[in-house]
């Protein structure tokens, strides 16, 4: 049976939301087209949260190697190339995140497998993959049809799909052999450098108050900050505000900033709002 392979993304022993979101898409495609769903989970510590995937896929591939506990393109590429060569999945999904944007192009270049990035939706039409993605700075949604191929790679925009549990038997767990080249890697992970405390993560905020250049001048920002604080919101901004240095780049929302999915979004002084 042909399958869809989903690469789990984790950081600091926590699974990123994009992993289960991709599985929501994978299971929808699998149900419509009679495909299997396989999860690839890498890292010696990652096996501690394998249970959360047992009802989300047909097969769970485990690579228990210390070098995979923290993302590094070199070992991840080696394992993925071996898995793609051995299993030949029809479609491999990765998040359109810092990790996916680093990994997917390198994998496509080394394997020659067609890649489509930052996808909002995917579907299969015979031997062809159809994709929806934004162009022209998010002003237009483009619908693409890739040329027929035995395999495809795609990165998925975070927040585009909901995670869903499957009503089925538990997945088969397959533990892959630990890589023999682990001690020959050219790089070694040392640790994370945390951002400044003022650089909040707006991608996790439930309520956002976002300001644009219509705010007029930086002296008006405290008004928006007070409003955001009063309603329990996080303050974010459009690109012009970040470019002027009125707020840190970490607060920027949009195609050139962060993808957000708040329950409530209030735009103040933003063009198009």
**Would you write out the chain's pLDDT as a tens digit for each of its 273 residues?**
899 999 999 988 889 999 999 999 999 999 999 999 999 999 888 778 888 899 899 999 999 888 888 888 888 999 999 999 999 999 999 999 999 999 999 999 999 999 999 999 999 998 799 999 999 878 899 999 999 999 999 999 998 998 776 666 788 999 988 777 767 778 888 887 766 555 677 888 889 999 999 999 999 999 999 999 999 999 999 999 999 999 988 899 977 677 788 889 999 999 865
Token digits of residue 253: 């929302």
Domains in the chain, CATH or no CATH each: 3-175 (3.40.50.620), 207-268 (3.40.50.1220)
Specify the pTM. Answer: 0.76
pLDDT for the residue 57: 93
Whole-number pLDDT of residue 132: 97
pLDDT given at position 165: 66
- The number of angstroms, rounded, from the C-alpha of 170 to the middle of its chain's C-alpha atoms is 25
> In whole angstroms, what is the distance from residue 203 CA to residue 10 CA?
16
Comparing CA positions, the residue from 97, 86, 6 lying closest to residue 52 is: 6
pLDDT at residue number 141: 94
What pLDDT score was predicted for residue 241? 93
pLDDT given for residue 171 in this prediction = 87
- State the pLDDT at residue 168: 67
Q: Where are the alpha helices (DSSP H) in the chain?
A: 17-33, 73-87, 98-111, 221-230, 239-243
CB 225 within 8 A of CB 239: no
């Amino acid at each position: 049976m042909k399958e869809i392979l989903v690469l789990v993304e984790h950081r600091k022993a926590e699974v990123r939301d994009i992993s289960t979101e991709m599985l929501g898409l994978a299971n929808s495609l699998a149900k419509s087209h009679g495909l299997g769903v396989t999860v690839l989970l890498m890292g010696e510590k990652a096996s501690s949260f394998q249970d959360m995937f047992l009802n989300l896929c047909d097969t769970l591939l485990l690579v228990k190697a210390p070098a995979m506990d923290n993302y590094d393109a070199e070992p991840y590429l080696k394992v993925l190339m071996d898995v793609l060569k051995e299993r030949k999945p029809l479609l491999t999904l990765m998040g359109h995140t810092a990790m996916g944007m680093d990994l997917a192009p390198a994998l496509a270049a080394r394997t020659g497998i067609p890649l489509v990035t930052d996808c909002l939706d995917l579907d299969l039409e015979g031997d062809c993959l159809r994709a929806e993605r934004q162009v022209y700075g998010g002003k237009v949604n483009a619908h693409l049809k890739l040329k027929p191929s035995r395999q495809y790679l795609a990165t998925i925009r975070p927040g585009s799909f909901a995670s869903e549990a499957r009503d089925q038997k538990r997945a088969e767990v397959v533990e892959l052999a630990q890589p023999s080249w682990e001690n020959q890697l050219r790089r070694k992970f040392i640790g994370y450098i945390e951002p400044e405390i003022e650089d909040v993560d707006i991608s996790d905020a439930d309520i956002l108050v976002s300001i644009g250049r219509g705010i007029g001048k930086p002296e008006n920002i405290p008004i928006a900050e007070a409003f955001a604080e009063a309603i329990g919101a996080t303050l974010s901004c459009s690109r012009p505000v970040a470019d002027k240095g009125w707020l840190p780049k970490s607060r920027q929302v949009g195609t050139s900033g962060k993808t957000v999915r708040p329950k409530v979004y209030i735009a103040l002084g933003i063009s198009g709002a």
